[in-house]
Structure 1
């Protein structure tokens, strides 16, 4: 017995035809026909906008296990020597001090090529005193500028405490003027004050006890923790070195980027970032080794970098260090920490390994795109700002946390609004669950938010007109035709269906302002309205690559794929979006819809049940879950299931007409079940015992209640007829 879905005269919602992958879609009706949209170009122009502050609250890494402070004495090297494979002449750059004929390499001597003197042991020894203040405890590392020492500041020492400091060489020369100039150039480091950057205490000079030349030193705060390189290189219980968990790497990066924002805001570049230069102690991260920090406008001093982390040499020679080259080193460091990145200084020195060698890329495509943008060969295609990069890093981090912890962790976007409406909403009355047409989808997707830094942001917030002509007149009268005013004009034309004019205005904007991600997004919307799903998807995919931490481009990609008949591409996007953020109810409906089409009604119902009670869609989602269960092909509901469905329907407090309509469907299936399997003692369905007469009486009542809830005469007659048809037969 099949339950009627609605009165015969009513207009049944038309479902969107699914276009096969190899078919040509029919042109849409005017006015939604758009010109052929160009394929996405590299996104340039203004960088991504964010309201995220570059400062952070004190408290450190709350999500990371603390690293206990290290005893300073343990940091001192027992036999400090430069490793033989790293020994080069400081004058001619050729290898020296290498092993020969089975004998260990010399740690001091003369270069056989240029006769320059070399030492590969520390110049300072334990007990040496610098500036009558800093007592050397020993060497703790060897860096690009020489040996690094641990010392005790005797001016702050007492019987109970000691103030440990790190001393690092700056320049080795006999020219006192050069030493003074070098120190003066580095004085700006003392003014750096950020919780994630090591403190600079002092600058001192002393004669090298071996050569007699004056040596200048920088005195820094000692951080008694472990470097990220040490943490990455630590072995597990089986003696293996494994990449760090992706969540940990992203948390580290999000914690460090405010320090880079702080430096960049002051016109400083770090230049030589790598995992060695970050210390994790307790719940804090500290940038150390500021020896390579330089002013942005500095075009003369030496440039330091580390192969495998720094940008290609061609860029250094042609462009020089920049904010984007700093962020490039962060991207490379993320890859080294998170991947089993063999050959990062050789084979993959200037690019990332393929996805086949990095399972993290397959699991989290957003992380792959994050690294691709951060380490792009073209500086203009990278992140242009540390705060912008942090916004995307946090978005990817929240995705990883959501998947691994099984609960949504995403925060509201600072770049996109929420959904304007919900597309693909189930039609409860007619029991139809389709995505809808391109118009409905395009006007339901989130929209880019107004940049609050735009000079006309306040003007746009006070617009009063609601009709198209009124809005356009107000925009034309704006005191300044700022980027946001121009983008609002394009969106207004799109909403009015004037797609040709909108595309022309958008092209003019792109010529003036560049191919920003907002331009690419709007081109995707225009292509979607034209039912050119492939082109629309290409534009949205470009926005996703530019903003890998945002969910809105992925929702648009999922919709385009489903509209094009590629459920296999749409379902993973819907699934990941819903796992991250339960505010995207369109993703829940999309996931449930496609799972149900696959025959996986159990997971579809689970997804619908996850729509929050605080959502305006809660009642619709719960009702859709009931109706999905009613026609499940994999797990047909039992009488007990129908009993629980009836209880849930009563709890939803739906408007009477919808409630009675769904109750008739539940009773129809209960009646079919009893007719097929025979009567039972329990459980009741809407108070009716599971036997044919009782269920027919309940069904008759439900149809009569439904007829009374209708306002149209023909609807009432239709449902009264159904009530009479299903009431129990009587013998007169």
Structure 2
């Protein structure tokens, strides 16, 4: 760090290139992000027309800490002064009002360099009445446009209670007509009414007591509490690094802010300058408190105000938009959630690499959400505040489930559930050729084929706003040719119609036809990537499928279906680390994705982590139709262990699991054969025990007798004569030897 070059300032430049006292920009640094926002060139850009048309409210997954409401009287500064080290000429930026020769600096006077008049004292004294209505109690803060005052509304209060308001300078002009025009132009803000937005009561003008010039003021409700910036700055500093806010709390703040921005957007208004300074946490709510930069969407004349480090890069050239508003929310989340050094300089328009930020490396879905919200192309960002809130809520569910292991399922508005579970062969008991002499043949579970995965994966839900949605609801055929002809005959149109035909082609195995139809879809949509992934996976191209599913995951980081698909494609490609990570994230969050449980267990079993595999399968709910297959797979995961690694207690556990399963006679007999074979191998390896396994003592004779009985049970239910003969022969081979 180096000393600030501004004369008289005791501060030093931080890593971002700004003085920690006066905020002065170091030579070579980008424009400062000071308390006063900076205007950009006028203009606007339209965001992409892409939208899901669907949304869900943000669930109250995290309770915000209660913030005591600040007493209005206690907010008034007893001696309002601008510290000397923050006094600079507004024209030439030279220091003014500084101490000299032991004498305190003057709070008002003229700049010795350019002779511009300055005054750092509040212009409204206590007791002043603005617009004949608002009685000033005193100054409460100093901002970019001057002092901010607390006042009492004489027209509303009574002897029991007062209505406290805040007066903030709107414009400081000697031109009375300009002041009146500015006030008239912004009166639309009085109509803004949302619980998470500070209420604007009035716009008034009042003559400056010193100059007599008309000064415009915005009159708004008093909101006690602390800004998110103040809450962040109050965090402890360890090793020279300020501790970030807990990520769930940061996300909870964003989920409070996004509906407020969405409210403004629905009314064709843009906030433009969101940052942690402009949101107050009061009681258990968060409120937007500075509407000074709000403008109409179609305003392409006035300047757009924003703050370096938070403002979207395209605003300076094409103007503000819904997408640029959402960009500011993501940047604010980043600043609050990790040590974001250089966010106004080195990383002014992008995020640091996860390799340098442990939080981003650990919370992949959160990182992907930030990436989409701050994409350099506004058309690739979230289309609306509701869409961003929906995905952010899904990300929060994943984060909380990872933290405490408790699932937090939610019905998706973007995808159906799993159509069936894939990769469950380890839990399926089928006929098998039995090896001779009772030797076991228990192989690890096979990885699911691409076609099996594609048939089971969730599919995107139909957008009800699509022109073809109503017609598709009446179509029951799965034949792509019949479906296409039927839709064509009634003139059905829209992307949903094209996707329905593509989905039918993939299901029918017409992958070339699906590829041709996908290539013909011109509309950019994550669903196109989804079906590209499904077609590639079905065709045995897992690398290509993974890339397509990764694109969907990037667009919808709060959804679990894309992560399940990424896991399946990665596993098929041999990248079990990635597969395990995503299978685990899906399973932790939502226990209805049984394929993820089998995926986790399958990979853990491959790595000889059999306890982990069993624990995962044990978590499959009893209410699931795959509960019994999961328990069968858990039994087999234990049976596949080398006999030398098993203890008597392990065999007892396996026996108990088999006995508790609800199986028909044939399947029970087959699982009994697998269990007793393992027990027999254990005994023949020189082990001895006193317990019983499936009612048979751990002795070779008893175990062989049990195997013989199981094979004879299977022979009775054999589907044909040859199979019956084979099973009887197996029973004879395995039975204990006798003299008879």
TM range, normalised to the smaller chain?
A: 0.7 to 0.9
Q: What secondary structure does 2:722 align onto?
A: helix
> Which residue number in structure 2 is paired with residue 578 of structure 1?
587
Q: CA RMSD in A?
A: 2.5
Whole-Å separation in 1 of the counterparts to 2:591 and 2:332: 32
Corresponding position of 1:216: 216
Determine the C-alpha separation between the residues in 1 that align with 2:698 and 2:250: 58
Matched, 1:368 2:371: no
Report if the CA contact (8 A) 2:604-2:612 is conserved.
Answer: yes
Q: Which residue of 2 aligns with 1:674?
A: 683
- Which of 612, 625, 628 aligns to 2:637? It is 628
- Of 51, 55, 60, the match for 1:52: 55
- Alignment coverage as a number of residue pairs: 679
Cα offset for 1:410? 3.6
**1:111, CA displacement in angstroms?**
4.2
Which string of whole-angstrom CA distances, capped at 9 and with x for unpartnered residues, describes residues 507-560 of structure 1?
2212xx2x2211122222222223222222222212211222122222222222
Structure with bigger RCO (C-alpha 8 Å, 6+ apart): 1
Give the drift of 1:294.
Answer: 0.8
Aligned partner of 2:477 in structure 1 is 465
**Are 1:61 and 1:283, in contact at CA under 8 Å, matched by a contact in 2?**
no
Kindly state the Cα deviation for residue 442 of structure 1 after the two structures are TM-superposed.
Answer: 2.3
**Which residue of the partner structure matches residue 404 of structure 2?**
405
Aligned partner of 1:697 among 677, 702, 705: 705
Q: CA deviation at 1:96?
A: 4.6
> Which range moved further: 104-113 or 684-693?
104-113
* CA-CA distance at 1:601 after TM superposition: 1.1
1:45 deviates by 5.8
Render the CA deviation track for 1:45-94: whole Å, top value 9, x for unaligned. 6534153256x79xx7852221121222332334434455655554x464
1:450 has 2:459 as partner: no
2:335 aligned with 1:336, yes or no? yes
Q: Which residue of 2 aligns with 1:488?
A: 500
Q: Which residue number corresponds to residue 733 of structure 2?
A: 725
Matches within 5 A, 1:493-508: 493-508=505-520
* Equivalent residue number for residue 270 of structure 1: 271
Q: Which runs of 5+ in 2 are unaligned?
A: 1-46, 433-441
Tell me if 1:523 matches 2:529.
Answer: no
Give the Cα–Cα distance (whole angstroms) in 1 for the partners of residues 237 and 341 of structure 2. Answer: 22
**Normalised TM-score (structure 1):** 0.87
Where 2:713 maps in the other structure, the secondary structure is helix
Is 1:707 aligned with 2:707? no
Q: Does the aligned pair in 2 maintain the 1:243–1:337 contact within 8 Å?
A: yes
8 Å Cα contact 2:375/2:381 also seen in 1: yes
Asked if 2 retains the 8 angstrom alpha-carbon contact of 1:200 and 1:219, the reply is yes
Contact 2:48 2:378 in 1 (8 A): no
Does the 8 A contact of 2:330 with 2:373 survive in 1? yes
Cα distance between partner residues in 2 of 1:89 and 1:139? 21
Deviations 1:606-653 (A, max 9, x none): 111111112211111110000100112499443333233233223221
1:149 matched residue in structure 2: 149
Could you tell me the TM-score, scaled by structure 2's length?
A: 0.86
Aligned-pair CA distance for 1:389: 0.8
Taking structure 1 as reference, are residues 240 and 128 closer, same or farther at Cα in structure 2, changes over 3 Å only? farther
CA contact (8 A) 1:571 1:591 kept: yes
Kindly provide the CA deviation profile for residues 419-448 of structure 1, in whole angstroms up to 9, marking residues without a partner as x: 222221124336551222222222222211
Cα distance in structure 2, aligned partners of 1:674 and 1:102: 98
- 2:392 is matched with 393
**Superposed displacement of residue 364, structure 1:** 0.8
Name the CA distance, whole Å, in 2 between partners of 1:100 and 1:119.
15
- Alignment of 1:658 with 2:667, yes or no, is yes
Is 1:355 matched with 2:354?
yes
Shift of 1:386: 0.8
Q: Give unpaired runs (5+ residues) of structure 1.
A: 1-43
In 2, Cα distance between equivalents of 1:106 and 1:416: 66
Q: Secondary structure in 2 aligned to 1:150?
A: strand
Deviates more, 1:357-366 or 1:718-727: 718-727
